[in-house]
Amino acid sequence: MPTFTDLILVTKSIETVARLTIGSTAIGDFDYNVLTGSLRIVFKSGGTYIYSNVSFTVFNGLVFASSKGTYFNANIRNNFEFTRI
């Protein structure tokens, strides 16, 4: 379970990003742009994806999910437009 010290808020120009490094078997790390609702997920398999128009509620659910992969599959995958980068 992440703690507040795990969550880092970074401000760059006009973007505010919440970034979290986690212990997941599927997800390496992810960050969230509060202003645009963009969620970037780096998978341990090597793919990096940006999901569009993700609410803070969904991001928060991912942060506190006991299984990030299960939460991702149930709440993010196939529910948001994405771009592979």
Query: What distance in Å separates the CA atoms of residue 44 and residue 22, rounded to the nearest whole number?
Result: 11
Q: What percent of the chain has pLDDT over 90?
A: 49
Which tens digits make up the pLDDT trace of 35-57?
899 999 999 999 999 999 999 99
More confident call, 13 vs 18 = 18
pLDDT of residue 42: 92
Tokens, residue 56: 């803070």
- Residue labelled with tokens 């795990």: 6
Q: Are 31 and 19 in contact (CB under 8 A)?
A: yes
Of the chain, the percentage scoring pLDDT greater than 70 comes to 74
Looking at per-residue pLDDT, the higher value among 15 and 72 belongs to 72
Contact (CB, 8 A) for 34 and 51: no
pTM for the full model?
0.77
